[in-house]
Amino acid sequence: MRLAILRALADGPGHGYELIHRLEEASDGLWRPSPGSVYPTLQLLEDEGLARAEARDGKRIYELTDAGRDEVERRADEAASSLFGAHDTRPLRKE
């Protein structure tokens, strides 16, 4: 879950339900994580300094920190072999 959310955040900032949708799309609909697993993981990533959140338009928007981007890059091979990566051909980092 942790790596999948990091990878979804690598595509840009988003709120929890937006990230759930990204994960579902990236797995071609094979996996739709529940809010009960996504939100605690987002909090964990925030606590670890890999993501940060801010309120925008009444929603909590999450984005990667520099440390979070470094973690995504460091674990790129692992992400590519996961369920999330197996169906997703997008680059890990936007150029």
Question: Using one digit for the tens of pLDDT, what is the confidence trace for 29-87?
Answer: 899 999 999 999 999 999 999 999 999 999 999 999 999 999 999 988 776 555 555 44
Furthest C-alpha separation in the chain: 36
pLDDT at 79: 60
Identity (one letter) of the amino acid at 54? E
Global pTM reads 0.79
CB-count exposure of residue 45 (10 Å: 0-12, 13-18, 19+): buried
